[in-house]
């Protein structure tokens, strides 16, 4: 299924566990992510519907502690679509990840401007002012191939009292590879949202 870009990602505001809806440019729900609570090992199920009755994809960590964990992304049949892993130790300055996709190789993911994420994290914690941070601070994560070409980007969108993000494709890679990149960026978004 070809993806119609840009993809819109929006978090459910009033939810105990993190829940994220990903829609295409026409507003069609592509998948609904729900992060499981109180799990020692990170596990996220992506559903075809908001009622969470039809699982489509599964993302599971390879270890209990989030120190250099690798996240295996599979479809319903258990076929490997991609691996997402943090590059190096968790950093207060800049987040760096790698996405391994069968048939495409290893892609690099990094923040376009780490100062924006730092400022966003600081301002979000200030009462009242934090409500408006979504209007003027927009962290962005860029996905690049080994040659340094920009393939896809994930960017925080202007929003009031909620977190909305857009996934924009800059250089098409093929249906399966574009989907694998979008799924990996969904997990990255769930991991990095806690950091600002």
Whether 48 maps to a domain, the answer reads yes
Look at residue 161 in the predicted model and tell me its pLDDT.
60
Farthest-apart Cα atoms in the chain, separation: 47
Look at residue 184 in the predicted model and tell me its pLDDT.
98
Residues in the chain: 196
Residue 109 has pLDDT above 90, yes or no: yes
Whether 1 maps to a domain, the answer reads no
Whether 118 maps to a domain, the answer reads yes
Q: List beta partners, residue 110.
A: 96, 142
Whether 2 maps to a domain, the answer reads no
Q: How many domains does the chain have?
A: 1
Q: What is the CATH number of the domain that holds 141?
A: 3.20.90.10
Residue 139 has pLDDT above 90, yes or no: no
Among 5-14, 112-121, 167-176, name the one with the lowest average pLDDT. 112-121
State pTM to two decimals: 0.88
Whether 142 maps to a domain, the answer reads yes
Look at residue 131 in the predicted model and tell me its pLDDT.
65
* Structural domain harbouring 129: 7-195
Whether 161 maps to a domain, the answer reads yes
What are the pLDDT digits (tens) for 62-108? 987 666 789 999 999 999 999 999 876 655 567 789 999 998 899 99
DSSP letters for 30-42 = EEEEEEPSS-SS-
Cα separation, 189 vs 21, in Å, equals 12
Q: Who has greater pLDDT, 109 or 13?
A: 109
Query: Helix or strand or coil: residue 195?
Result: helix
Q: Confidence class of residue 114 from pLDDT cuts 50, 70 and 90?
A: confident
Residue 190 has pLDDT above 60, yes or no: yes
Whether 77 maps to a domain, the answer reads yes
The set of residues, in sequence order, having a beta carbon less than 8 Å from that of 56 and lying 6+ positions away, is 31, 46, 47, 48, 75, 76
Q: How many CB atoms lie within 10 A of CB 71?
A: 25
Look at residue 89 in the predicted model and tell me its pLDDT.
61
Residue 122 has pLDDT above 90, yes or no: no
Whether 186 maps to a domain, the answer reads yes
Cα separation, 192 vs 164, in Å, equals 13
Give the gyration radius of the chain's Cα atoms.
16
Among 61-70, 141-150, 165-174, name the one with the lowest average pLDDT. 61-70
Look at residue 187 in the predicted model and tell me its pLDDT.
95
């Amino acid at each position: 299924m070809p993806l119609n870009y840009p993809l819109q990602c929006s978090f459910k505001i009033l939810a105990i566990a993190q829940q994220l809806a990903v829609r295409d440019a026409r507003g069609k729900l592509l998948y609904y992510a729900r992060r499981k609570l109180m799990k020692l090992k990170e596990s996220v199920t992506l559903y075809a519907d908001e009622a969470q009755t039809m699982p489509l994809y599964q993302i599971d960590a390879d270890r209990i502690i989030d120190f250099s964990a690798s996240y295996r992304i599979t479809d319903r049949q258990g076929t490997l679509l991609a691996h997402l892993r943090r590059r190096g130790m968790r950093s207060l300055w800049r987040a760096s990840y790698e996405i391994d996709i069968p048939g495409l190789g290893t892609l690099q993911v990094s923040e376009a401007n780490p100062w924006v994420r730092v400022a966003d994290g600081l301002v979000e914690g200030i009462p009242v002012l934090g409500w408006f941070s979504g209007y003027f601070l927009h962290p962005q994560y860029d996905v690049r191939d080994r040659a340094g070409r920009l393939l896809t980007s994930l960017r925080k969108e202007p929003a009031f009292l909620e977190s909305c993000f857009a996934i924009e494709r800059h250089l098409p890679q093929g249906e399966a590879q574009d989907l694998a990149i979008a799924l990996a960026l969904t997990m990255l978004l769930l991991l990095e949202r806690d950091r600002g």
